[in-house]
Amino acid sequence: MTSGTPAYPRTRLRRSRTTAWSRAMVRENRLAASDLIWPLFITEGNSHSEPIDSLPGVSRWSVDLIVERAREAVDLGIPCLALFPNTQAYRRSADAAEALNPDNLMCRAIRVVKDALGDKIGILTDVALDPYTSHGQDGLIDDHGYVENDRTLDMLTKQALNQANAGADIIAPSDMMDGRVAAIRDTLELASHHNVQIMAYSAKYASAFYGPFRDAVGSSGALKGDKKTYQMDPANGDEAMREIAMDIAEGADSVMVKPGLAYLDIIFRAKQRFDVPVYAYQVSGEYALVKTGAAAGVGDHDALMMEKLVAFKRAGCSGILTYFAADAAKLLQQ
């Protein structure tokens, strides 16, 4: 019993649960469309979409159709898109040179959306080399397959600048290299991109929940080895606080915990400890489990979806990257 709370029957906590209007009045956390960031996958072609088998209900979209999704997001009140390219195999290389191409899929999509909608919607861009490397790692590797931290930083800063020049509003480094936030922040400042935000993937774990995403961006078949030398050990929480503290000190405007649902404790700790917005990525595996579970009759699809999204808010999230963004926003409009 909470200290100072009168005992039953003077206190009946069910009183406020009796009616819908009363439950609404005392609700502690509320989910809104403005809490959602919608991840979208880009592919080559015109008027072309490709359903992703391992992500039911999610497709890759050609650049012209990404604009349609952006208009849909604006109509639904979703404030920001997160873009991820499915780079063609022949454009991938060991040095990830395509990441610096000012006319790559990512940059073309940024420009087209911004030309069409301007500041009506924000664009968040992923900074990591795995969509562009032939080996599927997030950075440049040495002869033994080890991802080299400092050599990778030079590529990441150039990639971030390339995206900012195209019109990105939020740069989101997901590579987990040490020192990348400071390097990107300094580069953006020198290039006069003073208002481009950095949302750092600060606590990104070496998770088993990423499989469908790697299918979506075409890196699953290319990946050689694993990412445990730079992504975090799922057993560690204190280390996540150190990672977040370092990224804030280096210039991050906000931080992200990825995956989200399996790491609500990390989100809660980060929100309690740091005075910056904390975001969660409800990753592809978490999304797919809801889809397959609902299809198998585990529970009602929309109820499962909304309960999980509210859990992120309860843990302290300022917002959530989720493939459910459009579906959830439509429900919230009802």
Residues classed as catalytic:
204, 258
Look at the block and give the residue holding tokens 């420009």: 111
Give, for 59, the enclosing helix (H) or strand (E): strand 59-62
| Those residues with Cβ within 8 angstroms of residue 90's Cβ, 6 or more apart along the chain or in another chain | none
- Strand 59-62, strand 122-127: pairing: unpaired
Burial profile 110-133: b = 16 or more Cβ within 10 angstroms, e = fewer: bbbbbebbeeebbbbbbbbbbbbb
The backbone region for 8, taken as left when phi is positive above 0, alpha when psi lies in -120 to 50, beta otherwise, is beta
Q: Which residues contact 279 (CB under 8 A, 6 or more apart)?
A: 37, 199, 254, 255, 256, 257, 317, 318, 319, 320, 321
| Pairing relationship of beta strands 122-127 and 170-173 according to DSSP bridges | parallel
Q: Let me know if 153 is exposed, middle or buried by CB neighbors in 10 A (0-12, 13-18, 19+).
A: buried
Are the beta carbons of 82 and 109 closer than 8 angstroms? no
CA–CA gap between residue 37 and residue 321 (Å, rounded): 5
